[in-house]
Amino acid sequence: MSARDRARAAAQPVRPSATRTLGRPVPRRHRILLVDDADGIRSYVASLLELRGYQVDTCEDGRRALALLDAGAAPDVILLDVMMPGMDGLDTLRQIREKHPGPDVVMLSVVGRAQTIVEAMRLGAADYLNKPFDESELEATLRALLERRGLREERDSFAGELGGNDAPIWRSDSMHRIRDAIEQIADTDVTVLIQGESGSGKEIVAREIHGRSTRRKKPFVKVNCAALPGELLESELFGYEKGAFTGAIGRKPGKFELADGGTIFLDEIGEMSAGLQAKMLQVMQDAAFARLGGNEEIRVDVRVVCATHRDLERMTRESTFREDLWFRLNVVSLHVPPLRERRDEIAPLVESFLARYSARYRRPRPQLSQRLLRAFERHPFPGNIRELENMIKRIVVLGSERVVLESLLAPRDDAAERRAASLERVIAELESTAGQLPLKEVGARAAVEAEREAIETALLRTGWNRKQAAQLLGVSYKTLLVKIRECGLEPAEG
């Protein structure tokens, strides 16, 4: 095969197999580039590694190796002979490190001189093997390098998540209190439990804790405990060894290992199974664990931040959550209030989301109408910040606010529930009077509740345009104003 053909073949991306075992994708084959001037060595090592599942490219000198890399080849590891004619291994290593810093390089030589080894390591070699080497020695070296490489890549990807522009809006008194608490605890390693409704911003608070801590340059690793069943969640948290279960064809580090030195964020920890709660308690006490299928004790330095929308204290009383784990988690507790209790933060959140998604989707920034902004101010936001964010995202992508505005002004899905609640209030009052309330008055009060609901719906659908609402209801403008006051439907100021 010519150098050009090798370059073309080596530059082709390796596609991960679509085959899955127990829900886990089969890992891609790792690519090795072997550079050695001896035909016999190239043939032997290439056959050896290909039998073990590696994808191997070979070339006979440093210049051809650099040509392959310049053409787009992207090996995971380069096996590089030291003694070659022309450009020797150390000169080749020097240029590889300058121009292609990605692959790990293992030096190969029959000369075991200490000075050569020291110089190779100084130039950036990852390891050094003396010829002739054992098959097991080569395999162990590659396995260690590839495992370390995978750990490094995952850590980099988690650390990169911190580069986003999600940040809390410190506008309400409740968020001011959370900010003050974060400033007090950020530089400590105490465990933090963040509680609040789904979508209220618990993850943003967790990232803020990490970002203000001394661990901020280390990984922030998020695990959603509700997204995986118990057996998969355990392997995700603690990793596994080869052969630990069907489909475990190699060692995989867990999220606790990836978070070493940084912060692990366990979202929705209230969904964790009882068995995993026990193991979690042990890990938090000992700062050590073993991978699934392994006996080696792995020690980590990790700060634990948890979040849940559930009432863990009540769950402990009901014996659905371990009381000892609850005490271990609840060192510092922060409660993030729902968006409906932080309405002064809606406007700055809208501005933030508009800027973010206009830039992300390369769309012109929409100008929102006052009618929509008023609808935002009145909307209860059962989905909290996440609901508002999705609305703004939809507006930016569609280039129109019409769909969102119509959904906000349409009669709410809970209208039947509110009617039932109104009737229950009337019935409760009837019961409190020991049946002395005349049936005629019961009907009148129920009618008032129905009238109030009809007026509120009309006002919402017209964006609080009273003249249009009066026409919609078939009454005079003056009559509607009187009814609005009687029903206590005057909009809040501002």
- The full DSSP string for 72-101 is T---SEEEEES--SSS-HHHHHHHHHHH--
Residue 112's pLDDT is what?
Answer: 59
CA dist., res. 379 & res. 96, Å (int): 59
- CA–CA distance, 467 with 79 (Å, rounded to integer): 81
Alpha-carbon distance of 202 to 489, in angstroms, equals 33
Sign of CA dihedral 226, 229, 230, 232: negative
Return the bridge partners of 59, or none.
Answer: 35
**Integer Cα distance of 27 and 137 in angstroms:** 23
CB-based burial label for 455 (10 Å; 0-12, 13-18, 19+) = buried
pLDDT of 158 over the 70 cut: no
Q: Residue 83: pLDDT above 60? A: yes
Query: Bigger pLDDT: 461 or 298?
Result: 298
Which residues pair with residue 332 across a beta bridge? 192
DSSP conformational letter for 259: T
pLDDT higher than 60, residue 442: no
Question: Which residues fall within 8 angstroms of residue 413, CB to CB, at 6 or more apart?
Answer: none
For 3-149, the fitting CATH number among 3.40.50.300, 3.40.50.2000, 1.10.10.10, 3.40.50.2300 is 3.40.50.2300
Q: Which CATH architecture has domain 344-406?
A: Orthogonal Bundle (1.10)
Q: Can you tell me the distance from the alpha carbon of 190 to that of 351, in angstroms, rounded to the nearest whole number?
A: 34
Average pLDDT value for the chain: 81
Read off the pLDDT band of 111 (50, 70, 90). low
Q: Which residue has the higher pLDDT, 438 or 263?
A: 263
Map out the domains of the chain as residue ranges: 3-149, 164-337, 344-406, 415-486
Reported as a single tens digit per residue, the pLDDT across 331-349 is 999 999 999 999 989 999 9
Query: For residue 58, what pLDDT band results from cuts at 50, 70 and 90?
Result: very high
Residue 55 or residue 474, greater confidence = 55
* Poorest-pLDDT segment among 6-20, 116-130, 173-187, 206-220: 6-20
- Joined tokens for residue 356: 């973010």
Q: Residue 152's pLDDT is what? A: 61
pLDDT value of residue 463: 67
Which of 77-81, 135-139, 330-334 has the least mean pLDDT? Answer: 135-139
- What CATH number belongs to 415-486? 1.10.10
Domains 3-149 and 415-486 equal at CATH topology level: no
Report residue 174 as tokens. Answer: 């409740």
Confidence grade of residue 324 (pLDDT, cut at 50, 70, 90): very high
Which regions of 228-325 does DSSP assign to beta strands (E)?
263-267, 288-289, 298-299, 303-308
Q: Which helix (H) or strand (E) holds 36?
A: none
pLDDT digit string, tens, across residues 265-316 = 999 999 999 999 999 999 999 999 999 888 889 999 999 999 999 999 999 9
Angle between helix axes 62-70 and 3-11 (nearest 10 degrees) is 40
Helix axes 384-398, 346-361, angle to 10 degrees: 40
Is the pLDDT at 13 greater than 90? The verdict is: no
CB within 8 A of 398, min separation 6: which ones?
none
What percent of the chain has pLDDT above 70? 81
CA distance 41 to 80: 12
Q: Which CATH class is domain 164-337?
A: alpha beta
